[in-house]
Amino acid sequence: MFSKACEYGIRAMIYIAQRSRQGERVGLKDIAQGIDSPEAFMAKIMQALSRQGLVQSVKGPHGGFYMDTQASKITLAQVVRAIDGDHLFTGCGLGLTECNEKKPCPIHDEFKLIRNKIRSLLETTQVGEFNELLEKGVLHLKRI
Amino acid sequence: MFSKACEYGIRAMIYIAQRSRQGERVGLKDIAQGIDSPEAFMAKIMQALSRQGLVQSVKGPHGGFYMDTQASKITLAQVVRAIDGDHLFTGCGLGLTECNEKKPCPIHDEFKLIRNKIRSLLETTQVGEFNELLEKGVLHLKRI
DNA sequence: AATAAAAAAGACAAAAATATCCTTTATTCA
DNA sequence: TGAATAAAGGATATTTTTGTCTTTTTTATT
Ligand code: FES
Ligand code: FES
Protein backbone atom coordinates (compact mmCIF):
# COMPACT_ATOMS: atom_id res chain seq x y z
CA MET A 1 0.00 0.00 0.00
CA PHE A 2 2.52 2.61 1.19
CA SER A 3 6.29 2.55 0.85
CA LYS A 4 8.33 1.99 4.01
CA ALA A 5 9.39 5.63 3.85
CA CYS A 6 5.76 6.68 3.75
CA GLU A 7 4.76 4.43 6.64
CA TYR A 8 7.58 5.89 8.75
CA GLY A 9 6.63 9.37 7.59
CA ILE A 10 3.01 9.05 8.63
CA ARG A 11 3.88 7.53 11.97
CA ALA A 12 6.47 10.23 12.57
CA MET A 13 4.03 13.02 11.77
CA ILE A 14 1.47 11.60 14.15
CA TYR A 15 4.16 11.15 16.78
CA ILE A 16 5.43 14.71 16.41
CA ALA A 17 1.91 16.10 16.53
CA GLN A 18 1.36 14.40 19.84
CA ARG A 19 4.77 15.15 21.33
CA SER A 20 5.17 18.76 20.23
CA ARG A 21 2.42 20.69 21.93
CA GLN A 22 2.94 24.48 22.08
CA GLY A 23 6.11 24.45 20.05
CA GLU A 24 8.22 21.94 21.98
CA ARG A 25 10.71 20.17 19.78
CA VAL A 26 11.10 16.49 19.19
CA GLY A 27 14.55 15.24 18.26
CA LEU A 28 15.33 12.75 15.55
CA LYS A 29 16.51 10.16 18.04
CA ASP A 30 13.30 10.58 19.98
CA ILE A 31 11.19 10.13 16.86
CA ALA A 32 13.10 7.08 15.64
CA GLN A 33 12.80 5.49 19.05
CA GLY A 34 9.18 6.53 19.42
CA ILE A 35 8.01 4.89 16.23
CA ASP A 36 10.72 2.20 15.95
CA SER A 37 12.30 3.29 12.69
CA PRO A 38 15.96 3.34 11.58
CA GLU A 39 17.31 6.69 12.69
CA ALA A 40 19.41 7.62 9.65
CA PHE A 41 16.66 6.67 7.23
CA MET A 42 14.19 8.60 9.33
CA ALA A 43 16.48 11.62 9.01
CA LYS A 44 16.14 11.52 5.22
CA ILE A 45 12.38 11.31 5.44
CA MET A 46 12.19 14.17 7.92
CA GLN A 47 14.37 16.28 5.64
CA ALA A 48 11.92 15.73 2.81
CA LEU A 49 8.91 16.53 4.98
CA SER A 50 10.68 19.58 6.34
CA ARG A 51 11.65 20.85 2.87
CA GLN A 52 8.03 20.54 1.84
CA GLY A 53 6.91 22.49 4.85
CA LEU A 54 4.87 19.74 6.47
CA VAL A 55 6.90 20.03 9.62
CA GLN A 56 9.14 22.71 11.10
CA SER A 57 12.67 22.15 12.28
CA VAL A 58 15.27 23.99 14.29
CA LYS A 59 18.96 23.14 14.38
CA GLY A 60 21.28 23.29 17.32
CA PRO A 61 20.89 22.53 21.02
CA HIS A 62 17.28 22.00 22.03
CA GLY A 63 16.48 21.92 18.36
CA GLY A 64 14.31 19.34 16.69
CA PHE A 65 11.08 19.02 14.81
CA TYR A 66 7.76 20.52 15.75
CA MET A 67 4.37 21.55 14.48
CA ASP A 68 2.29 24.57 15.31
CA THR A 69 -1.36 24.08 16.15
CA GLN A 70 -2.77 24.47 12.66
CA ALA A 71 -0.08 22.15 11.28
CA SER A 72 -1.59 19.35 13.29
CA LYS A 73 -4.51 19.66 10.87
CA ILE A 74 -2.27 18.37 8.08
CA THR A 75 -3.91 15.30 6.60
CA LEU A 76 -2.43 11.89 6.04
CA ALA A 77 -3.13 12.45 2.35
CA GLN A 78 -0.73 15.39 2.34
CA VAL A 79 1.96 13.25 3.94
CA VAL A 80 1.41 10.42 1.48
CA ARG A 81 1.53 12.78 -1.49
CA ALA A 82 4.73 14.35 -0.16
CA ILE A 83 6.50 11.00 0.07
CA ASP A 84 4.88 8.55 -2.35
CA GLY A 85 3.30 10.99 -4.79
CA ASP A 86 -0.29 10.56 -5.83
CA HIS A 87 -0.02 7.31 -7.75
CA LEU A 88 -2.06 5.61 -5.05
CA PHE A 89 -4.91 8.08 -5.60
CA THR A 90 -4.89 8.11 -9.38
CA GLY A 91 -3.05 5.07 -10.73
CA CYS A 92 -4.46 1.94 -12.36
CA GLY A 93 -4.87 -1.02 -10.04
CA LEU A 94 -3.47 -3.42 -12.62
CA GLY A 95 -0.49 -1.24 -13.46
CA LEU A 96 -1.59 0.14 -16.82
CA THR A 97 0.34 3.30 -17.58
CA GLU A 98 -2.65 5.40 -16.64
CA CYS A 99 -6.11 4.82 -15.27
CA ASN A 100 -8.42 5.67 -18.15
CA GLU A 101 -12.17 5.84 -17.80
CA LYS A 102 -12.61 5.38 -21.55
CA LYS A 103 -10.29 2.39 -21.82
CA PRO A 104 -10.75 0.74 -18.45
CA CYS A 105 -8.87 -2.27 -17.17
CA PRO A 106 -10.98 -5.20 -15.95
CA ILE A 107 -11.14 -4.04 -12.34
CA HIS A 108 -11.41 -0.33 -13.04
CA ASP A 109 -14.90 0.33 -11.68
CA GLU A 110 -14.44 -1.59 -8.46
CA PHE A 111 -10.91 -0.41 -7.96
CA LYS A 112 -11.91 3.19 -8.35
CA LEU A 113 -14.33 2.81 -5.47
CA ILE A 114 -11.60 1.42 -3.26
CA ARG A 115 -9.11 4.04 -4.37
CA ASN A 116 -11.61 6.73 -3.50
CA LYS A 117 -12.25 5.19 -0.10
CA ILE A 118 -8.53 5.22 0.58
CA ARG A 119 -8.24 8.80 -0.52
CA SER A 120 -11.24 9.78 1.53
CA LEU A 121 -9.81 8.11 4.61
CA LEU A 122 -6.47 9.83 4.17
CA GLU A 123 -7.95 13.20 3.34
CA THR A 124 -10.25 13.26 6.33
CA THR A 125 -7.64 12.12 8.81
CA GLN A 126 -5.40 14.70 10.44
CA VAL A 127 -2.03 13.95 11.96
CA GLY A 128 -3.09 15.67 15.17
CA GLU A 129 -6.33 13.87 15.83
CA PHE A 130 -4.88 10.94 17.77
CA ASN A 131 -3.10 12.87 20.51
CA GLU A 132 -5.36 11.91 23.39
CA LEU A 133 -5.76 8.26 22.46
CA LEU A 134 -2.02 7.91 21.99
CA GLU A 135 -1.43 9.47 25.38
CA LYS A 136 -3.89 7.11 27.00
CA GLY A 137 -2.09 4.18 25.40
CA VAL A 138 -5.13 3.13 23.42
CA LEU A 139 -3.36 3.59 20.09
CA HIS A 140 0.17 2.56 19.17
CA LEU A 141 2.88 3.69 16.78
CA LYS A 142 5.23 0.77 17.37
CA ARG A 143 5.05 -2.80 18.56
CA ILE A 144 7.97 -2.95 20.99
CA MET B 1 -0.91 -1.69 -4.02
CA PHE B 2 0.40 -4.73 -5.92
CA SER B 3 3.97 -5.45 -6.96
CA LYS B 4 4.81 -5.20 -10.65
CA ALA B 5 5.09 -8.99 -10.77
CA CYS B 6 1.60 -9.28 -9.32
CA GLU B 7 0.12 -6.77 -11.74
CA TYR B 8 1.63 -8.67 -14.65
CA GLY B 9 0.46 -11.93 -13.11
CA ILE B 10 -3.14 -10.84 -12.77
CA ARG B 11 -3.25 -9.40 -16.26
CA ALA B 12 -1.64 -12.55 -17.66
CA MET B 13 -4.14 -14.83 -15.92
CA ILE B 14 -7.05 -12.80 -17.26
CA TYR B 15 -5.47 -12.82 -20.71
CA ILE B 16 -4.90 -16.56 -20.68
CA ALA B 17 -8.43 -17.21 -19.45
CA GLN B 18 -9.79 -15.30 -22.42
CA ARG B 19 -7.37 -16.68 -25.01
CA SER B 20 -7.34 -20.32 -23.97
CA ARG B 21 -10.86 -21.61 -24.47
CA GLN B 22 -11.21 -25.41 -24.70
CA GLY B 23 -7.57 -26.09 -23.92
CA GLU B 24 -5.85 -23.99 -26.59
CA ARG B 25 -2.42 -22.87 -25.51
CA VAL B 26 -1.11 -19.38 -25.25
CA GLY B 27 2.62 -18.89 -25.69
CA LEU B 28 4.82 -16.70 -23.55
CA LYS B 29 5.52 -14.31 -26.39
CA ASP B 30 1.81 -13.99 -27.01
CA ILE B 31 1.12 -13.24 -23.36
CA ALA B 32 3.90 -10.70 -23.04
CA GLN B 33 2.72 -8.94 -26.17
CA GLY B 34 -0.92 -9.21 -25.16
CA ILE B 35 -0.49 -7.48 -21.83
CA ASP B 36 2.63 -5.42 -22.65
CA SER B 37 5.02 -6.94 -20.15
CA PRO B 38 8.74 -7.76 -20.44
CA GLU B 39 8.89 -11.28 -21.83
CA ALA B 40 11.72 -12.73 -19.73
CA PHE B 41 10.29 -11.33 -16.52
CA MET B 42 6.88 -12.65 -17.49
CA ALA B 43 8.47 -16.07 -17.92
CA LYS B 44 9.54 -16.05 -14.27
CA ILE B 45 6.10 -15.07 -13.11
CA MET B 46 4.44 -17.75 -15.24
CA GLN B 47 6.81 -20.34 -13.82
CA ALA B 48 5.72 -19.41 -10.32
CA LEU B 49 2.03 -19.50 -11.22
CA SER B 50 2.53 -22.79 -12.99
CA ARG B 51 4.41 -24.35 -10.08
CA GLN B 52 1.56 -23.35 -7.80
CA GLY B 53 -0.96 -24.92 -10.12
CA LEU B 54 -2.84 -21.76 -11.00
CA VAL B 55 -2.18 -22.33 -14.68
CA GLN B 56 -1.25 -25.35 -16.75
CA SER B 57 1.66 -25.49 -19.14
CA VAL B 58 2.92 -27.76 -21.90
CA LYS B 59 6.42 -27.70 -23.34
CA GLY B 60 7.43 -28.21 -26.92
CA PRO B 61 5.90 -27.26 -30.27
CA HIS B 62 2.38 -25.92 -29.92
CA GLY B 63 2.98 -25.81 -26.20
CA GLY B 64 2.14 -22.91 -23.97
CA PHE B 65 -0.05 -21.99 -21.06
CA TYR B 66 -3.73 -22.75 -20.66
CA MET B 67 -6.58 -23.12 -18.22
CA ASP B 68 -9.38 -25.61 -18.13
CA THR B 69 -12.91 -24.36 -17.61
CA GLN B 70 -13.00 -24.59 -13.83
CA ALA B 71 -9.56 -22.93 -13.62
CA SER B 72 -11.10 -19.80 -15.05
CA LYS B 73 -12.94 -19.59 -11.73
CA ILE B 74 -9.66 -18.90 -9.99
CA THR B 75 -9.98 -15.63 -8.13
CA LEU B 76 -7.73 -12.61 -8.29
CA ALA B 77 -7.15 -13.14 -4.56
CA GLN B 78 -5.55 -16.51 -5.32
CA VAL B 79 -3.25 -14.90 -7.85
CA VAL B 80 -2.29 -12.12 -5.46
CA ARG B 81 -1.60 -14.57 -2.65
CA ALA B 82 0.53 -16.70 -5.00
CA ILE B 83 2.73 -13.77 -5.97
CA ASP B 84 2.62 -11.14 -3.22
CA GLY B 85 1.56 -13.31 -0.31
CA ASP B 86 -1.25 -12.20 1.96
CA HIS B 87 0.36 -9.16 3.52
CA LEU B 88 -2.13 -6.96 1.69
CA PHE B 89 -5.02 -8.82 3.31
CA THR B 90 -3.65 -9.00 6.83
CA GLY B 91 -0.87 -6.46 7.31
CA CYS B 92 -0.94 -3.17 9.21
CA GLY B 93 -1.54 -0.10 7.08
CA LEU B 94 1.14 1.86 8.88
CA GLY B 95 3.71 -0.90 8.68
CA LEU B 96 3.64 -2.16 12.27
CA THR B 97 5.02 -5.65 12.39
CA GLU B 98 1.54 -7.08 12.67
CA CYS B 99 -1.97 -5.75 12.65
CA ASN B 100 -3.22 -6.23 16.18
CA GLU B 101 -6.79 -5.61 17.23
CA LYS B 102 -5.74 -5.22 20.86
CA LYS B 103 -2.92 -2.77 20.16
CA PRO B 104 -4.22 -0.96 17.11
CA CYS B 105 -2.35 1.67 15.13
CA PRO B 106 -4.14 5.00 14.64
CA ILE B 107 -5.81 4.04 11.37
CA HIS B 108 -6.56 0.45 12.28
CA ASP B 109 -10.36 0.57 12.29
CA GLU B 110 -10.72 2.48 9.05
CA PHE B 111 -7.91 0.63 7.35
CA LYS B 112 -9.42 -2.71 8.22
CA LEU B 113 -12.59 -1.75 6.39
CA ILE B 114 -10.60 -0.84 3.29
CA ARG B 115 -8.47 -3.97 3.52
CA ASN B 116 -11.61 -6.05 3.72
CA LYS B 117 -13.10 -4.29 0.72
CA ILE B 118 -9.97 -5.04 -1.26
CA ARG B 119 -10.04 -8.65 -0.20
CA SER B 120 -13.71 -8.92 -0.98
CA LEU B 121 -13.17 -7.46 -4.44
CA LEU B 122 -10.33 -9.83 -5.16
CA GLU B 123 -12.05 -12.87 -3.71
CA THR B 124 -15.24 -12.34 -5.67
CA THR B 125 -13.53 -11.66 -8.98
CA GLN B 126 -12.59 -14.58 -11.20
CA VAL B 127 -9.92 -14.48 -13.87
CA GLY B 128 -12.39 -15.81 -16.42
CA GLU B 129 -15.22 -13.36 -15.92
CA PHE B 130 -14.00 -10.72 -18.36
CA ASN B 131 -13.75 -12.87 -21.49
CA GLU B 132 -16.66 -11.35 -23.39
CA LEU B 133 -15.95 -7.73 -22.51
CA LEU B 134 -12.31 -8.17 -23.45
CA GLU B 135 -13.30 -9.67 -26.75
CA LYS B 136 -15.64 -6.81 -27.47
CA GLY B 137 -12.84 -4.36 -26.75
CA VAL B 138 -14.68 -2.81 -23.84
CA LEU B 139 -11.96 -3.75 -21.36
CA HIS B 140 -8.21 -3.48 -21.81
CA LEU B 141 -5.11 -5.24 -20.54
CA LYS B 142 -2.59 -2.86 -22.05
CA ARG B 143 -2.46 0.74 -23.22
CA ILE B 144 -0.66 0.37 -26.56
C1' DA C 1 16.44 -40.53 -34.96
C1' DA C 2 17.10 -35.70 -35.82
C1' DT C 3 15.38 -31.23 -35.54
C1' DA C 4 12.75 -27.59 -33.94
C1' DA C 5 9.75 -25.42 -30.61
C1' DA C 6 8.61 -23.92 -26.18
C1' DA C 7 8.62 -23.84 -21.17
C1' DA C 8 11.77 -24.55 -16.92
C1' DA C 9 15.65 -23.43 -14.56
C1' DG C 10 19.73 -21.05 -13.25
C1' DA C 11 22.92 -17.30 -13.40
C1' DC C 12 23.45 -12.72 -13.93
C1' DA C 13 22.43 -7.44 -14.42
C1' DA C 14 20.14 -3.14 -13.63
C1' DA C 15 17.31 -0.26 -11.07
C1' DA C 16 14.91 1.15 -7.10
C1' DA C 17 14.08 1.13 -2.26
C1' DT C 18 15.97 0.96 2.09
C1' DA C 19 19.54 2.05 5.15
C1' DT C 20 24.07 3.86 6.93
C1' DC C 21 28.00 6.96 7.43
C1' DC C 22 30.45 11.23 7.23
C1' DT C 23 30.75 16.19 6.65
C1' DT C 24 28.62 20.72 6.81
C1' DT C 25 25.65 24.27 8.61
C1' DA C 26 22.97 26.57 12.02
C1' DT C 27 22.03 27.42 16.82
C1' DT C 28 22.55 27.58 21.78
C1' DC C 29 25.04 28.14 25.80
C1' DA C 30 28.99 28.62 28.75
C1' DT D 1 34.41 33.49 21.23
C1' DG D 2 34.51 28.57 21.58
C1' DA D 3 32.41 24.21 22.37
C1' DA D 4 28.61 21.38 22.04
C1' DT D 5 24.28 20.06 19.86
C1' DA D 6 21.19 18.84 16.34
C1' DA D 7 19.38 19.02 11.69
C1' DA D 8 20.84 19.23 6.57
C1' DG D 9 23.22 17.39 2.98
C1' DG D 10 26.13 14.30 0.37
C1' DA D 11 28.20 10.00 -0.52
C1' DT D 12 28.02 5.24 -0.07
C1' DA D 13 26.26 0.55 1.07
C1' DT D 14 22.82 -3.09 1.25
C1' DT D 15 18.70 -5.34 -0.02
C1' DT D 16 14.83 -6.09 -2.81
C1' DT D 17 12.55 -5.79 -7.01
C1' DT D 18 12.63 -5.85 -11.68
C1' DG D 19 14.55 -7.45 -15.72
C1' DT D 20 17.75 -10.18 -19.01
C1' DC D 21 20.50 -13.92 -20.85
C1' DT D 22 21.90 -18.70 -21.40
C1' DT D 23 21.35 -23.53 -20.82
C1' DT D 24 18.45 -27.51 -19.98
C1' DT D 25 14.38 -30.29 -20.36
C1' DT D 26 10.27 -31.78 -22.56
C1' DT D 27 7.42 -32.47 -26.51
C1' DA D 28 5.97 -32.59 -31.33
C1' DT D 29 7.03 -33.11 -36.10
C1' DT D 30 9.56 -34.63 -40.00
S1 FES E 1 -7.86 1.58 -15.78
FE2 FES E 1 -7.19 0.23 -14.23
S3 FES E 1 -8.05 1.17 -12.51
FE4 FES E 1 -8.75 2.53 -14.07
S1 FES F 1 -2.75 -2.27 13.60
FE2 FES F 1 -2.41 -1.00 11.87
S3 FES F 1 -4.00 -1.71 10.59
FE4 FES F 1 -4.37 -2.95 12.35
* Structural domain spans, chain A: 4-135
Q: How far is CA A7 from CA A1, A4, A42, B30, B118, in A?
A: 9, 5, 11, 38, 19
Judge whether residue B110 has pLDDT over 90.
yes
Q: What is the distance in A from the centroid of ligand 2 to the CA of A137? A: 15
Amino acid B83 CA to nucleotide C14 C1' distance, rounded Å: 22
Confidence (pLDDT) at B23? 80
Predicted TM-score (pTM) of this structure: 0.96
**Inter-chain CB proximity B94 and A143 less than 8 Å:** no
Segment B37-52 shows an average pLDDT of 98
Confidence (pLDDT) at A11? 98
Residue B88 touches chain A, beta carbons under 8 Å: yes
CA B139/CA B133 separation, integer angstroms? 6
Comparing C-alpha atoms, which of A123, A128, A120, A121 is closest to residue A14? A128
Judge whether residue A21 has pLDDT over 90.
no
- Candidates 1.10.10.10, 1.10.8.50, 3.40.630.30, 3.40.50.2000; correct CATH number of A4-135? 1.10.10.10
Segment A71-100 shows an average pLDDT of 97
Other CB atoms within 10 A of residue B79 CB: 25
Q: Quick one: what percent of chain A has pLDDT higher than 70?
A: 100
Which position has the higher pLDDT, A136 or B21?
A136
Chain A residues with CB under 8 Å of B94 CB are 2, 7, 10-11, 141
Q: Quick one: what percent of chain B has pLDDT higher than 90?
A: 94
Instruction: Name residues contacting ligand 2 (CB within 6 A).
Output: B 92-94, 96, 99-100, 104-105, 108, 111
Q: Quick one: what percent of chain B has pLDDT higher than 70?
A: 100
**Backbone phi, then psi, for A26, in 5-degree steps?**
-115, 125
Judge whether residue A121 has pLDDT over 90.
yes
